[in-house]
Chains A and B, each alone.
Chain A
Amino acid sequence: MAVLMLLAIGAVFLQVRQQRYVATVVTVAMDQRLAIQRITDGTANAISGDLRANVVLRRTADEFDWNLRALREGGLTFGSPGSASDLPEASADIQSQMDRIDRIWQPTYGNVTVVSGSAPVGVQVRELALQVTNRFSDFDIALENAQKTATAVDRAALADIGRVLGRVRLQVLAIAESPKQTAPDLAANAEHIDAVLGALLIGEPGPDGAALRQELLGPVDGFAALWEASSEDIKTLIPLAEEFAEGLVAAREIAGSSVPLLREISVAVDLLDQESRDKVIQIQWFLLAVTGVFLYICALAMWVTWRTIRPLERLTRATTIIAEGDLSARVEVGSRDEIGMLAVAFNKMTEDLQRRDIELAAVNDELEAFNYSVSHDLRAPLRTIDGFSQALLEDYEDKLDDEGKDYLGRTRAASQRMGVLIDDLLNLSRVTRGDLRHEEVDLTAIARKVVAELEEGDPERQVTFEIAEGAVTMGDPNLLRAVLDNLIGNAWKFTGNHPTAKIEFGITEDGGQPAFYVRDDGAGFDMRYSENLFGAFQRLHGMTEFPGTGIGLATVQRIIHRHGGRVWAEGEVEQGATFYFTLG
């Protein structure tokens, strides 16, 4: 069962992972469709010599390539959970579609690289042309300066240079666009300027002689210096422009072959998109099915639980009723499973309990009758013995000697003592009968009352009492009164042979719960016999020493046990005794 659960959880986890992945594929596929559109447009623009389109084209192609690789191998930056190869089951179709796209893409990507490869040359051509044309205003000033001092012949030459220079300017600007047509003319014009300028500088002597030539030489030299640099630039520009033109021709050819490929990729990406969406829907159905099965299992589990819980509830209810004392309660047995068997066993147990309860009640009744007999019938003959002994003593006094009177005295004492014993025995049995009350009892107040009564009974005694405050507990007030009566009464009795005494009622702790104690500094007892202390009619002291029947501590023990507590004693001969008790 646990293994099945683990497998199910594993399958759901895998499906969720796949769904996330395929959802990513859908998102990326949408991007890729746009990218293909941009690449198609960008290629068209690039082969028309649009340098900006060229740069964008390259970037778009790089992005497309990166996304494609990321989808296939994993590592998409926006948190893709894995790659197609990690999830073979989910993406068999998707993967084959991507493989197909990749197969078409690789040559296309190469083409795009070639197409965008002409861009750097184009940029260089543009910059060079701009550098050359920027100097033309300087050319104009230099030529004007030369004209001012030129002879008629020189003037004609300078004008020629100015004219050709105008054409050169236009041709430099145009060379980037149409290097083939422009390059030869530009080269020829540049050479022409070189030739005219050279002739001008070497020159034939004019009609005015060398003096005029000297004047002209300065400004023409200035122009020549400017032109020299531009001439060099133009010489560099011409082959570059030709190279750019050749690149564009190649790009056009390649772009032409890319168009069908791009169209094919576009279709493949559409298919990928469609298949991914199908896959997402498929996975969603799967998850829906799994959720359905899960809910069904939950409902089943709840039903089984309910079926199990209901009899248990009935069992609990019956137990509560029985615990409250009604032993006639039974559980309805509804099933033949373990719980049904438990119910049968429970009913059997309750029947046994009920039978035993009836038996116990009978025994208890007998005990009551016995107690009554003891109380009534045993006392009557005792009274007869005592009464007629007394009658003998009174009526036949003159016929009895001292010994005879002593014997009759002993007979009377014994019968009276037996009367007391019977009374004590009845009191002890009464302690274990009847209902136990459970209410708040102020032991401090009870101890004070007991002490007051003792002091009243024998005001001569010198006894110091120490009674702890706040000894409040739960229990039966009458029975707890009997406990303190006995314990404090004993303390009072067993300190009787000392001129002064101290009796203490206090609270301590035993195993985390409050324990009460009564301590005296009286006759004490030998710890070796401490086990005998609580037995009925057990006495550790001689009758003549301290009176009593030995029933008090047995009564105390019974009361404490009925409260679910514990009673124990510590003592030493002539060093006093301490009696501790707890109450459940």
Chain B
Amino acid sequence: MSSDVILLVEDNPDDEALTIRALNRNNITNEVIVARDGVEAMDYVFARGTHSERDINDLPRLVLLDLKLPKVDGLEVLKQIRADDRTKRLPVVVLTSSKEEQDLVDSYNLGVNSYIRKPVDFTLFTEAVRQVGLYWLVLNEPPPR
């Protein structure tokens, strides 16, 4: 059983709105679940807390993960996802404002699938979201469940 949910982990409501707008404008119609901090993101992925009703095997198709998050930061979320056998193959794309080298290194060390830096220019941002969606939702073969 597979869903085509995109998990958007983003604490900034503006960025959330802009990301969803960019997805919509690129005709990406997958359901978008928004998690506004690290704990919420992990609750969804591991089907616990407010999402305990959810079937853990029903993994999202793609996680768009911001790094700077309240409570638990994005790198920790990534670490937990990769540490669990059930979720370790889940495609995670870091979508962040940070271009810090340390963040890049840490993300790749933790096994991120892709690292996208959000451009300020919305035109470019829209283009980036389009390409990410096209690649991960259409072109890329998802890992077997």
Chain B residues 93-139 with CB under 8 Å of chain A are: 96-100, 118-123, 125
Is A521 on the interface with B (CB-CB < 8 A)? no
Contact B100 A380 (CB under 8 A): no
Expressed in whole angstroms, the Cα–Cα distance for A383 and B66 within the complex equals 14
Selected contact of B122 from candidates A372, A375, A386, A426, CB within 8 Å: A386
Selected contact of A383 from candidates B68, B98, B99, B120, CB within 8 Å: B120
Contact A375 B99 (CB under 8 A): yes
Expressed in whole angstroms, the Cα–Cα distance for A220 and B121 within the complex equals 170
Is A198 on the interface with B (CB-CB < 8 A)? no
Known: A372-B100, A375-B98, A376-B98. A390 touches B14 (CB 8 A): no
Using an 8 Å CB-CB cutoff, how does the interface string of A358-388 with B read, 1 for contact, 0 for none?
A: 0000000000000110011101111110111
Expressed in whole angstroms, the Cα–Cα distance for A426 and B67 within the complex equals 18
Known: A375-B97, A388-B14. A383 touches B21 (CB 8 A): no
Which residue of the partner chain A has the closest CB to B101? A430
Neighbouring B residues of A382 by C-beta, 8 Å: 120
Is B83 on the interface with A (CB-CB < 8 A)? no
Contact A383 B100 (CB under 8 A): no
Is A308 on the interface with B (CB-CB < 8 A)? no
Is A415 on the interface with B (CB-CB < 8 A)? yes
Known: A383-B120, A419-B119. A391 touches B14 (CB 8 A): no
Which residue of the partner chain B has the closest CB to A390? B122
Is A423 on the interface with B (CB-CB < 8 A)? yes
The smallest C-beta distance from B2 to any residue of chain A, in angstroms, reads: 31
Expressed in whole angstroms, the Cα–Cα distance for A538 and B14 within the complex equals 33
Is B18 on the interface with A (CB-CB < 8 A)? yes
Which residue of the partner chain B has the closest CB to A375? B98
Contact A387 B125 (CB under 8 A): yes
Is A416 on the interface with B (CB-CB < 8 A)? yes
Expressed in whole angstroms, the Cα–Cα distance for A138 and B100 within the complex equals 146
The smallest C-beta distance from B68 to any residue of chain A, in angstroms, reads: 5
Is B3 on the interface with A (CB-CB < 8 A)? no
Neighbouring A residues of B98 by C-beta, 8 Å: 372, 375-376
Which residue of the partner chain B has the closest CB to A413? B121
Contact A383 B18 (CB under 8 A): yes
The smallest C-beta distance from A419 to any residue of chain B, in angstroms, reads: 3
Selected contact of B118 from candidates A372, A379, A423, A426, CB within 8 Å: A379
Is B30 on the interface with A (CB-CB < 8 A)? no
Is A418 on the interface with B (CB-CB < 8 A)? yes
Contact A386 B96 (CB under 8 A): no
Which residue of the partner chain A has the closest CB to B103? A372
Using an 8 Å CB-CB cutoff, how does the interface string of B1-29 with A read, 1 for contact, 0 for none?
A: 00000000000101101100100000000
Expressed in whole angstroms, the Cα–Cα distance for A377 and B12 within the complex equals 10
Known: A380-B14, A387-B21. A418 touches B97 (CB 8 A): no
- For B97, B98, B123, which residue has the most chain A Cβ atoms within 10 angstroms? B97
Expressed in whole angstroms, the Cα–Cα distance for A110 and B62 within the complex equals 140
- For A372, A380, A390, A412, which residue has the most chain B Cβ atoms within 10 angstroms? A380
Neighbouring A residues of B121 by C-beta, 8 Å: 386, 412, 416, 419
Selected contact of A386 from candidates B67, B68, B100, B120, CB within 8 Å: B120
Expressed in whole angstroms, the Cα–Cα distance for A418 and B121 within the complex equals 10
Expressed in whole angstroms, the Cα–Cα distance for A380 and B120 within the complex equals 8
Neighbouring B residues of A381 by C-beta, 8 Å: 14
Expressed in whole angstroms, the Cα–Cα distance for A131 and B63 within the complex equals 154
Expressed in whole angstroms, the Cα–Cα distance for A463 and B142 within the complex equals 50
Known: A375-B98, A376-B68, A376-B96. A384 touches B14 (CB 8 A): yes
Neighbouring A residues of B12 by C-beta, 8 Å: 380, 384
The smallest C-beta distance from A326 to any residue of chain B, in angstroms, reads: 25
The smallest C-beta distance from A385 to any residue of chain B, in angstroms, reads: 9
Neighbouring B residues of A390 by C-beta, 8 Å: 122-123
Contact B15 A383 (CB under 8 A): yes
- For B17, B68, B120, B123, which residue has the most chain A Cβ atoms within 10 angstroms? B120
Neighbouring B residues of A423 by C-beta, 8 Å: 99
Which residue of the partner chain A has the closest CB to B123? A390
Expressed in whole angstroms, the Cα–Cα distance for A383 and B119 within the complex equals 7
Contact A418 B100 (CB under 8 A): no
Please provide the 6 A-B residue pairs with the shortest distance between their CB atoms, ordered closest to farther. A419-B120, A384-B14, A387-B122, A387-B18, A390-B122, A379-B97
List 6 A-B residue pairs with CB atoms under 8 Å apart, sorted by A's residue number. Answer: A376-B98, A377-B97, A379-B118, A381-B14, A384-B15, A418-B120
Given A383-B122, A389-B122, A391-B18, 8 other A-B contacts at CB below 8 A?
A376-B98, A377-B97, A380-B14, A388-B14, A388-B18, A390-B122, A391-B21, A412-B121
Residues of A within 8 A of B (CB): 371-372, 375-377, 379-384, 386-391, 412, 415-416, 418-419, 423, 426
